[in-house]
Amino acid sequence: MGYVAELNTGNKMPVIGLGTGAPAYQYEEIKAAVGVALQVGYRHFDTASYYGSEGALGASLTEAFQRGDVKREEVFVTTKLWDDEHDDPPAAITKSLKHLQLEYVDLYLIHWPLRLRKGYTLPPKEEDFLPLAIKSTWQGMEKCFELGLTKAIGLSNFSCKKIEDLLNYCKIPPAANQVELHPMWQQKKLRDYCRKMKIQVCAWSPLGAPKTPWGSNVVMDNPVIKEIAQKHGKSTAQVVLRWGIDKGVCALPKSFNKGRITENFQVFDWCLTAEDHEKMSKLEQRKILRGEDLVNSTTSPYRTIEELWDGEI
Ligand SMILES: NC(=O)c1ccc[n+]([C@@H]2O[C@H](COP(=O)([O-])OP(=O)(O)OC[C@H]3O[C@@H](n4cnc5c(N)ncnc54)[C@H](OP(=O)(O)O)[C@@H]3O)[C@@H](O)[C@H]2O)c1
């Protein structure tokens, strides 16, 4: 795979995108990071209505379009339908587009296979869970596509089983599935299944989300990966991102630091060896964000995390 992945819609997704998962109060930081990323060469940005970063991303892109630095059609923007927006995806995407100051996004995803009531707080309490209605949610996503509000629709945090169910009734198949994926959670079964079904896999927390409350340093501190990085004269993050690209995955590293934004994009002019891949294929696997908060024995559609991930954990 080159620097772009071709989606089942025929549109192209750059394989490295900037993650912007950050709260709205970091507005200036997010806006500046997007500006730096555009200069470095990033043309793919990941946001979600849940993050609160749509406004800052939109402002930074709008300024870049006005300056003539980049054209709208040269940038790939993903946003997502949050858990309390399943009842009306066209209304939700319209709100997101307003924040983003865009007429369309390139990809609109169902953020989680989960439905919460309006006014919920995280972690969700028993009364916050609503019965799942993925079929009607997907019909709403298809409507967004038909209205031209998004160039593609897709999923996030869906297992093979959940994708298979959806493929049985959908009119428009999903173009992508965005999931936790890194060398310590390689998701081989899901990658193989999605490749077969022409669904592009995108990696969230591609570095394992070091220094964050939901993530871990296990990926960045792994001695095997560190040794491979040292051998190539690259950073651990670069080896991890290159590994993902070699696996056919699009990765969405988040950084708001100029040096690290640049570093994470310098992954195209060198390669890992077959021996490196062999060593990395043997790393112990454990999902970092497991979703314990999303299951209960009464109101959640999932009683256990095994049910949430259909055993793929
Ligand atoms: N669909 C979903 O459910 C979902 C869930 C989680 C995330 N996401 C998306 O995926 C994106 C990335 O995930 P993430 O933020 O959880 O994890 P991540 O990208 O794996 O890690 C981000 C952390 O790594 C640090 N970092 C970045 N580059 C580095 C480098 N070269 N060396 C050392 N540290 C580095 C960042 O700090 P600095 O900023 O200080 O560099 C930040 O603390 C999010 O922003 C969001 O867009 C989606």
27 is catalytic: no
Residue 169 belongs to some domain of the structure:
yes
CA 215 to ligand 1 centroid distance, Å: 9
CATH number of 51's domain: 3.20.20.100
Residue 313 belongs to some domain of the structure:
no
Q: Token pair for residue 99?
A: 């924040």
pLDDT of 305 reads 96
Residue 215 belongs to some domain of the structure:
yes
Residue 135 belongs to some domain of the structure:
yes
Alpha-carbon gap, residue 285 to 100, rounded angstroms: 37
Query: Which of 311, 232, 307 has its CA nearest to residue 275?
Result: 232
pLDDT of 1 reads 41
- 3-class SS letters over 126-175: HHHECCCCHHHHHHHHHHHHHCCCECCEEEECCCHHHHHHHHHHCCCCCC
pLDDT tens over the chain, length 313 residues: 448 999 999 999 999 999 999 888 899 999 999 999 999 999 999 999 999 999 999 999 999 999 999 999 999 999 999 999 999 999 999 999 999 999 999 999 999 999 999 999 889 999 999 999 999 999 999 999 999 999 999 999 999 999 999 999 999 999 999 999 999 999 999 999 999 999 999 999 999 999 999 999 999 999 999 999 999 999 999 999 999 999 999 999 999 999 999 999 999 999 999 999 999 999 999 999 999 999 999 999 999 999 999 999 8
pLDDT of 23 reads 82
Alpha-carbon gap, residue 64 to 14, rounded angstroms: 18
Helix pair angle (258-265, 236-246), 10° resolution = 40
Alpha-carbon gap, residue 46 to 252, rounded angstroms: 7
Determine the residue of 18, 49, 100, 207 to mutate for testing ligand 1's pocket, defined as the one with the most ligand atoms within 8 A of the Cβ atom: 207
Alpha-carbon gap, residue 239 to 276, rounded angstroms: 10
Alpha-carbon gap, residue 205 to 212, rounded angstroms: 10
pLDDT of 237 reads 98
Structural domain count, the chain? 1
CA 135 to ligand 1 centroid distance, Å: 31
Q: Which residues line ligand 1 (CB under 6 A)?
A: 19-21, 46, 111, 156-157, 178, 204-212, 215, 235, 237, 252-257, 260, 263-264
Sequence-ordered list of residues with C-beta below 8 angstroms from that of 186, at least 6 positions apart, any chain: 247, 281, 283, 285
Alpha-carbon gap, residue 14 to 59, rounded angstroms: 21
Q: Token pair for residue 291?
A: 């979703």
Backbone angles phi, psi at 180, to 5 degrees: -65, 125
pLDDT of 25 reads 87
Alpha-carbon gap, residue 42 to 123, rounded angstroms: 33
Residue 290 belongs to some domain of the structure:
yes
CA 207 to ligand 1 centroid distance, Å: 7
What is the span of the domain harbouring residue 202?
4-308
Alpha-carbon gap, residue 144 to 157, rounded angstroms: 20
DSSP conformation class of 100: H
